[in-house]
A = this chain, B = another copy of it.
Amino acid sequence: MDSAEETTGGYRPWSEVTPDAARRLLVAAVEAFAERGYHATTTRDIAGRAGMSPAALYIHYKTKEELLHRISRIGHDKALEILETAAGGPGSAAERLDAAVRSFVLWHAAHHTTARVVQYELDALAPEHRGEIVELRQRSDAAVRRILAEGVAAGEFHVPDVPGTTLAVLSLCIDVARWFNAAGRRTPDEVGALYADLVLRMVGAAPDGSGTPRK
């Protein structure tokens, strides 16, 4: 419930959104969209959570959809940055895949409120905004596919269907935003470690060195 806690914990997100009133509205919108969904959220609710009158929203954003677009854009930028950093990093393909899944899942769990909006409210965007976002998602797909292809070429992975497995890996990570519950048993780090191990198994990499004894 106290998701203001989440959104300020750690690396202090939304710092790129100014002025202060615009950021407060955006954070309020993230919470409301994540709880009820975009269409079930009213502009009055968003403004109320930010401690403002309904009209105040329209000083900083032209429409309710612009709010969603801003949230979606910032979130996708962050998600893509995480994947591309891991994909372009040092180490073997297995190490990079581990890092990519671990950090991608960590972000989806730790910021599941934001991630839920980013990953599941895409259809509510206007067509031209949706196109822009879809492009970012294709680059995320390319980053993961690159790691898999390189791992196969290096003989580290055994993957018969690289595009299909890429899709499955991303799908698995993204869905964390749907089920993860901050009040649940697992910490974001634990889920990241579990998922990194599962994905390494999926690609046929030896699970040694990642904390999973073979017996």
Contact = CB atoms under 8 A, between A and B. Distances in A.
Interface of A: 36-37, 39-40, 120, 123-124, 158, 160-161, 164-165, 167-168, 171-172, 174-176, 178-179, 186, 191, 194-195, 197-198, 201-204, 212-215
Q: Copy number in this complex? A: 2
19 contacts: A37-B39, A37-B123, A39-B39, A40-B124, A120-B178, A160-B197, A160-B212, A160-B213, A161-B194, A164-B194, A168-B195, A168-B198, A171-B172, A171-B175, A175-B175, A201-B201, A201-B202, A201-B203, A201-B204
Contacts of A120: 120, 178
Contact of A39 (B40, B174, B203): B40
Contacts of A186: 164
A165 B172 CA distance: 11
Across the A-B interface, give the 9 residue pairs with the lowest CB-CB distance, nearest first. A39-B39, A39-B40, A175-B175, A171-B175, A164-B194, A172-B172, A198-B202, A201-B202, A201-B201
Q: Is chain A's interface secondary structure helix, strand, loop, or mixed overall?
A: helix
B37 A198 contact: no
A102 to B, nearest CB: 14
Contacts of A167: 179
B194 A36 contact: no
Nearest to A195: B168
Contact of A176 (B171, B178, B197): B171
A110 to B, nearest CB: 17
A194 B168 contact: yes
A168 B158 contact: no
A2 B194 CA distance: 40
